[in-house]
């Protein structure tokens, strides 16, 4: 029996942000950087890979470490972190991994014969005179490479643009030759940063970081993170190195701009930076992105949502859900872990992660401990939302809670709807189960749990019966 697919799609104790998804053969592979639980900075881990069958997207397999940080000759002691990578298949059929270390401004390349084998260091992207890209006078600093190979050419996109820095223009595209290293066509600007976006179609959503590139039909889609950070945007062009115009927002990791169930400027989760891309898995397109946990920027987890590509090539913004890769709503019966909450907020709104009053996804133990995730720091008004479920005859809800809290969890099917049940909880330093009768309407429903009371609770799971 196939597993249901949740967000995040990997186990709750795994932290793989900056996801670049690809289908190779009959499996989808995810390549990303590697955060640690409770990490003090971004990307502290080695590159690892996970994959899933294209017809069973809830069943992810750990492929192991594909590239240790010490593999790069510039990093023999592992003092630098491996930032967001990308992968492409070269003209020779081998798999090439492009990445940038956190304290140098050159693009490194590793290679492997298989999608998820052990990659070996291959070289640095260079100009024809041998100078490494990023080190010649006039080069933009290198960051977050995205790659696309067509025939014997590979298009390389890199860039980072902070506010106030006019030395960085935007995302730059270069064309590499058949050796996957040597620049054949010099870098050109394809998406302007905030200092150069005024008067262009990108104004209001200028390029910040996270260059990624895909081709659908005869159209190139340039995917990137904008200056507000929580949103992944896209631009479109018929050429891979020129003519890109702004297309729209693909996803926001706080659901900003979505106006179907709330006001468009109302955040529904605690966002921060974002990075990801799009992929077609069988007959469905998805956007892969990441969310933030532990109340910090540094423990990020991969999520995915289905996309609709309209006949004119435009892509409406995807909504945050708990069931992204599932192919539809989750079953309206059974126990669900609290860490799959797609909405997390309290009466004090915040677009960005952080703050002592805010609820957060957590885990017990240390990084690598296979401990189930839960929602911690649940104080008065904290709300967790789960979307969506196909409900039939649901008459009872149970929750597993611990912590020094004395109050009730109100149950709703919309964030601002009437309470359908109230579950009383009490002080406990172990997980306890509490239940209440619930007359849940049949059909496609969300579940919202709002705490009202004193103290601070943790929520492990809920069960619909």
Return the active site residues: 18, 209
- Number of C-alpha atoms within 13 angstroms, CB side, residue 94? 17
Beta strands at 47-53 and 61-67: parallel, antiparallel or unpaired: antiparallel
Distance CA 389, CA 333 (A): 9
Paired sense of beta strands 383-391 and 330-331, if any: parallel
Starting from the edge strand earliest in sequence, which strands make up the sheet with 245-252, in order? 207-216, 219-226, 231-237, 245-252
Strand partners of residue 226: 207
* In contact, 397 and 334? CB cutoff 8 Å: no
d(CA 28, CA 309): 20
Burial status of residue 121 (CB atoms within 10 A of its CB: 0-12, 13-18, 19 or more): middle
β-bridge mates for residue 384, sequence order: 344, 449
**Residue 77 near residue 406, CB atoms below 8 Å:** no
What does the block give as tokens for 49? 């890979």
**Cα four-point dihedral sign 37, 42, 45, 48:** positive
Q: How far is CA 242 from CA 185, 313, 389, in A?
A: 13, 18, 44
- CA triple 432-434-437, angle to 5 deg: 165
* CA trace torsion 238, 243, 246, 249 (10° rounding): 40
Q: What tokens does 287 get?
A: 């956007």
Cβ atoms of 168 and 161 within 8 Å: the answer is: yes
Cβ neighbours of residue 11 closer than 8 Å, sequence gap 6 or more: 60, 370
Which structure tokens are listed for 462? Answer: 């809920």
Would you say 17 and 296 are in contact if contact means Cβ atoms under 8 Å apart? no
CB 458 within 8 A of CB 419: no
Determine how many CB atoms are found less than 10 A away from the CB of residue 26: 10
Note whether 268 and 415 are within 8 A (CB).
yes
């Amino acid at each position: 029996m196939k597993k249901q697919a949740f967000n995040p799609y990997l186990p709750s104790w795994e932290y793989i942000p900056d996801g670049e998804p690809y289908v190779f053969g009959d499996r989808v592979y995810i390549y990303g950087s590697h955060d640690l639980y409770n990490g003090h900075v971004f990307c502290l881990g080695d590159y690892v890979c996970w994959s899933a069958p294209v017809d069973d997207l809830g069943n992810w397999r750990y492929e192991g470490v594909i590239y240790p940080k010490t593999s790069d000759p510039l990093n023999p002691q592992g003092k630098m972190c491996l930032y967001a990578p990308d992968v492409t298949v070269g003209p020779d059929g081998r798999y090439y991994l492009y990445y940038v270390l956190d304290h140098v401004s050159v693009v490194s390349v590793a290679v492997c014969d298989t999608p998820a084998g052990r990659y070996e260091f291959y070289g640095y992207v260079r100009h024809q005179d041998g100078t490494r890209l990023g080190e010649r006078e006039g080069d933009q600093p290198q960051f977050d490479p995205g790659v696309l190979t067509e025939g014997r050419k590979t298009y390389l996109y890199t860039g980072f643009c902070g506010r106030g820095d006019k030395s960085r223009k935007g995302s730059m595209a270069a064309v590499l030759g058949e050796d996957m290293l040597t620049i054949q066509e010099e870098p050109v600007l394809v998406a302007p940063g905030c200092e150069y976006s005024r008067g262009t179609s990108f104004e209001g959503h200028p390029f910040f970081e996270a260059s990624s590139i895909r081709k659908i039909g005869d159209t190139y889609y340039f995917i990137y993170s904008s200056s507000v950070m929580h949103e992944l945007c896209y631009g479109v062009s018929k050429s891979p190195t020129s003519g890109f115009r702004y297309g729209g927002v693909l996803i926001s990791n706080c659901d900003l701009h979505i106006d179907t169930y709330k006001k468009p400027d109302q955040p529904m989760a605690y966002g921060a930076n974002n990075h990801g891309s799009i992929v077609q898995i069988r007959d469905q397109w998805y956007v892969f992105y990441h969310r933030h946990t532990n109340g910090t920027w540094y423990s990020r987890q991969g999520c995915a949502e289905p996309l609709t590509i309209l006949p004119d090539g435009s892509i409406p913004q995807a909504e945050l859900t708990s069931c992204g890769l599932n192919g539809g709503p989750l079953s309206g019966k059974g126990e669900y872990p609290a860490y799959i909450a797609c909405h997390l907020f309290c009466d004090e709104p915040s677009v960005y992660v952080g703050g002592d009053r805010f609820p957060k996804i957590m885990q017990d133990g240390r990084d690598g401990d296979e401990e189930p995730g839960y929602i911690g720091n649940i104080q008065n008004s904290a709300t967790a939302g789960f979307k969506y479920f196909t409900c039939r005859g649901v008459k009872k809800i149970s929750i597993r809670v611990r912590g020094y809290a004395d109050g009730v969890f109100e149950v709703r099917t919309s964030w601002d709807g009437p309470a359908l049940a109230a579950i009383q909880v009490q002080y406990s330093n172990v997980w306890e189960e509490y239940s209440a009768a619930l007359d849940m309407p049949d059909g496609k429903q969300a579940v919202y749990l709002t705490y009202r009371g004193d103290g601070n609770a943790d929520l492990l799971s809920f069960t619909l019966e």
